[in-house]
Structure 1
Amino acid sequence: MKQSIRWVTSMSALTLSLAFTAGCSTGGSGGASPGQSGQAADGKKPLSIQMFAGLYNEVPDMNNAYWTEWQKKTNSKLEVEWIPAGDLNTKLDLLLASGDLPEVVAVPDFKRPTLISAIKNGAFWDLTPFLGDFSKYPNLKNNTVKDAFKYRTVDGKIYSLPGSRSRVDIGIKIRKDWLDKLNIPVPATLDEYEAAMKKIVEGDPDGNGKKDTLGLIGNGVIVNDGDTSFAAAFGALEPTYNAEGGLVFTNLTPQYTEAIAWFRKLYEQGILAKEFSVMKRVQAEELFKTGRAASYARSIWWDKEWENEIEKAGQPNPKIVNLTLKGPKGYAIDLAIGGGGGYLISKKVPEAKVKQLLDYFELTASQEISDFSYYGIPDVHYKSVDGQKVLTEQGVKEVNTTGKGVGVLTYEKWGKVISASGNKAYNDAKIKEVEKYDEIGLVDPFRYLVSNTWINVWAKYENEWKAAVTKAIVGQISMDDYRQFVDKVNSLPETKQAYKEFAEHYKTFQAK
């Protein structure tokens, strides 16, 4: 079914430190950025915004050319607490528990149970009466992905603005140059992928004389961004109902358990990196872009930049491709809803400033600001080559994923595919590589469904489930033991009640 939509709430790392090096930006704390100290052309002073947001690259210098121009264009002065991506959900939970919220909280998962609890407890503004019919916010209405606001309601009310992004995002990457070197065809099925990866980890594709190449890497419960993609190949993103007609949470379906058993087999063969459960995202990324690993699941738009990094590391002519793998019950393609993250406004913010913040986000949803977020300043961050904007060295350094985390932006079908480091020919080929993803991939209902009962159930069992996943994959418990744990959670009266609530909520979306 093509009706599955989901944001997996359980893909954060197994072992996260509670002592965070959050990398708080000093941007805004040391005086106004250049161009920010004066008033805008219309005489309005820059809007000061305190924000909690994810860090996906190095901590940005808020006084550099990119951020100076962003704040100038939006007439804002940003004071951002940047949280490393691997720590984001745990840090968010602590922030919500403390109740000491900044003005704006940017979240990767707008339906995280702890967040829903905070919303229901009155921590954030209900934006529904402010947005109204969206006549005052045409960019938010017209430039975001279809149904972005419909999917993000809680009890029929809108509490978060979408981070409007591409539905086509995550790709399961493999080093095609290594496949070619070892005379291995590009895998088209999970079985072919497994066989190819086994040959790679047992070979010497980088030519260093050692058999030390890592296979599939990642971070989190299994491989984080790739967990859902691989699980989709086993049918885990198809709505699954229990005997009572309740909609079963994706991670606790029999199909997802099949995916766990498959990961266990990869681990036994040395294909899945031994450190998968404790590896941080920055470590995984570093391993891949320095040519240490064969396969990694992340946003497709990284490919050209990482090819450049691999070449700098001493491996000439690297080639990364994103696979279209068919599994026993579907394709290993996980689609986003085109606006999975969200921006929430603390109830501590005065009503007058809520309107100012909505004006800011309305502006960030314009095409002009969106284009700027992808490419920066002409002749500083990019140059036009054959009609394609290509980032300069300064652009590669300053224009990145982190920079897209402070505004809504417009919906771009290929926004997570096109590389600002690649030329037109490269990007045309990259789109061709994944052009069928939007047709054959699936999204999952648990990206937007809400159950009041489930909030408490999953808060109680999520960490235990994560531990069981790791133990099952590394062989510390049997797959039967893992299944018994899943059955235990699924058979709880409160779980069955939550599944009924999910099913009822799902019906409302099918009817629309």
Structure 2
Amino acid sequence: MRFRQKKKVVSAGLAIALGMAGMLSACDEKKESATAQEGVNETDKYAKLPKEISISMFDRGRVPAEEGSYEQNRWTKWMNENSGVKVKWVPVPRSTAQQKLNTLVAANEAPDLIWEFDRNYIALLASQGAIQPIDSYIEKYSTSYKKYLNEHPELKPYLTIDGKMYAVSSKRGIDTIANQGIWIRKDWLDKLGLAMPKTDEELMSVAKSFVEKDPDGNGKNDTLGFAFNSQFKSYPSAMNASRPDTWYTDNGKMQLGRLTDRYKDTLAMAKKMYDNGMVDKEYITDKSYQRERQLWVTGKAGIYLGSWSMDSEYRDLKMNVPGAQPVPMESVSTKYGKFGLLQEAPASMLIAFNKNMKNPKAAVEFLDWMVDKGWFTLKFGIEGIHYKKTSDSIQAIDGEKNKKELDYAYEYPIVNQWNPKVEDIVKMAASDPVSQEYAKLKALGLETAMKNKFRSDIPYAPSFPELGQFLAEFTPKADEIDNKVIMGGPQYTPEWGAAELQKEWKRLNGESVWKQVQDWYDKNKTSFK
């Protein structure tokens, strides 16, 4: 399984702050216990508190100015009016989410509900005492989510740490199990007389032609092979089964993707993309990938390494370049085989309870409302305004209106019951020609993304303090090494990079940590499905 964010450890300062918070919490618990013994009804201790909570969310910069902000917009108002709970949303930048959350936790300013896609990060917060077990809250206060969890027991291993439940989550639909996708300009292929690439070598050859042969016909040397919406090396690493932060089992031995022999080929492919001008030379400064998006939607890149779905990117590209014909493309094969692109584990975002939250009962009530009915409106909008009912589905009324008023709301339903089929994509799209045209492509994009199985050797990664510390120190240094290999010129070869990564592994006592990793795998492997 792969986890989205680089693993980061809570700093020493944060650990101290959390330790102090734990001591204070213990004192508070003693006071509460004494109060209870004096006759206060323990079951009602949250009943008189205001129903107010705060929740983190990723700031992806997608709220149109006329809609407001992530903190204040039509949907935050709607939730406060309909859920019975007043929610303060706390955006954190997507690219530095864990770093920002660590800072908030250390300052005792973290929101009540903290969520991430990365189970390792949630486990780290649990080990540091920043979050609390929630089994008793769900059992005591929940109805809808408790029922949902009983219906989806496959989620429980992802939510459980050291025998206790530390998070809630919901099951991914096929549209969120599929993560990455590749789109290619078929009109450029046709113009240059090129076939759809099937191998990594063919992909590099096509991208090189897109750079050198003026596929947009403007007589200028201004086109690129690739644009992307995340780290571009994550695509060749998936194709080579060597994702940097993914654990693989080779001959029964656990190994981090970045330290496999296959990773040399990932670095070689990324370096070739950079050296041959297939990617924007300034990509490393584009932390939000907005420049990359602009290159794609203005018709300056021939291949988009992104998601299987690209609603707004498609519309903007067609508006800027009406003749563009983007189509989904399968992942290519390498000498190691054909592994497909990233597909996520069954559990979606993991929502944890801050150790210091004031009203966990209100949080559970909000989660119950969200998983019961709130999620539907946040996904589809208001009936008669954003969608209408048909005989066998619901259908968007105006794709452009929904793009502005609804698309940014997709992360508010932190738990949901969305479980679509591929054919639903076309049924639900607005009836205008552009929406229908894209819906058919989008359905094909989902089918294409799921066509080849992504290599996932274990359902979730090991997590313990020594490993967290290792990854926190190793990952930034490894990123520096990768960047030298990719951008540093001929003296920094993939072989040099692989050797430097091994040196860092040894310097940070990787052998001892790996022994613990292997012990974890040997102990748990019989339970992996």
TM, length-normalised to structure 1 = 0.80
Measure the CA separation in 2 of the matches of 1:106 and 1:183: 47
Change (3 A) 1:58 1:7: same
Conserved 8 A contact 2:4-2:117:
no
Conserved 8 A contact 2:52-2:362:
no
Match of 1:299 in 2: 307
Q: Which amino acid aligns with 1:155?
A: D
Deviation of 1:126 (Å): 0.9
Match of 2:463 in 1: 450
Q: Which amino acid aligns with 1:363?
A: W
Picking from 92, 101, 109, the partner of 2:110 is: 101
Conserved 8 A contact 1:52-1:82:
yes
Matches within 5 A, 1:207-356: 207-218=217-228, 223-224=230-231, 226-236=232-242, 240=248, 247-280=254-287, 281-302=289-310, 304-329=311-336, 330-350=338-358, 353-356=359-362
Match of 2:85 in 1: 76
Measure the CA separation in 2 of the matches of 1:444 and 1:340: 18
Percent of aligned positions that are identical:
20
Matches within 5 A, 1:161-176: 161-162=168-169, 164-165=171-172, 166-176=176-186
Q: Provide Cα deviations, 1:416-451, integer angstroms capped at 9, x if missing partner.
A: 994865656753553344426446223364853213
Conserved 8 A contact 2:144-2:371:
no
Picking from 376, 379, 395, the partner of 1:371 is: 376
Give ranges in structure 2 of 5+ residues lacking alignment. Answer: 9-47
Match of 1:409 in 2: 416
**Structure with the largest fraction of helix:** 2
Measure the CA separation in 1 of the matches of 2:458 and 2:423: 22
Match of 1:380 in 2: 385
Measure the CA separation in 2 of the matches of 1:270 and 1:493: 35
Measure the CA separation in 1 of the matches of 2:205 and 2:163: 48
Q: Which amino acid aligns with 1:52?
A: S
Change (3 A) 1:218 1:279: farther
Conserved 8 A contact 1:472-1:479:
yes
Q: Which amino acid aligns with 1:171?
A: G
Count of equivalent residues: 466
Match of 1:504 in 2: 519
Conserved 8 A contact 1:301-1:416:
no
Deviation of 1:357 (Å): 0.8
Greater mean deviation of Cα atoms: 53-62 or 326-335 = 53-62
Q: Provide Cα deviations, 1:119-142, integer angstroms capped at 9, x if missing partner.
A: 212111212333359876345416
Picking from 362, 367, 375, the partner of 1:361 is: 367
Measure the CA separation in 2 of the matches of 1:463 and 1:416: 42
Deviation of 1:411 (Å): 4.8
TM, length-normalised to structure 2 = 0.77
Picking from 50, 55, 58, the partner of 1:51 is: 55
Change (3 A) 1:318 1:11: farther
Match of 1:180 in 2: 190
Match of 1:28 in 2: none
Per the alignment, in what secondary structure is the counterpart of residue 173 of structure 1? Answer: strand
Picking from 499, 504, 512, the partner of 1:489 is: 504
Deviation of 1:458 (Å): 1.3
Per the alignment, in what secondary structure is the counterpart of residue 254 of structure 2? Answer: coil
Q: Which amino acid aligns with 2:219?
A: G
Conserved 8 A contact 2:238-2:342:
yes
Q: Which amino acid aligns with 1:379?
A: G
Give ranges in structure 1 of 5+ residues lacking alignment. Answer: 13-43
Change (3 A) 1:418 1:478: same
Change (3 A) 1:267 1:406: same
Measure the CA separation in 2 of the matches of 1:319 and 1:106: 34
Measure the CA separation in 2 of the matches of 1:409 and 1:434: 20
Match of 1:464 in 2: 477
Deviation of 1:509 (Å): 4.8
Measure the CA separation in 1 of the matches of 2:422 and 2:79: 19
Residue 395, structure 1, aligned to residue 395, structure 2:
no
Greater mean deviation of Cα atoms: 441-450 or 95-104 = 441-450
Conserved 8 A contact 2:145-2:367:
no
Conserved 8 A contact 2:247-2:461:
no
Deviation of 1:487 (Å): 1.2
Per the alignment, in what secondary structure is the counterpart of residue 302 of structure 2? Answer: strand
Picking from 119, 130, 135, the partner of 1:110 is: 119
Greater mean deviation of Cα atoms: 169-178 or 458-467 = 169-178
Change (3 A) 1:89 1:444: farther
Q: Provide Cα deviations, 1:213-240, integer angstroms capped at 9, x if missing partner.
A: 1222336xxx42x544421221326954
Match of 1:202 in 2: 212
Measure the CA separation in 2 of the matches of 1:293 and 1:156: 49
Q: Which amino acid aligns with 1:356?
A: A
Deviation of 1:299 (Å): 2.5
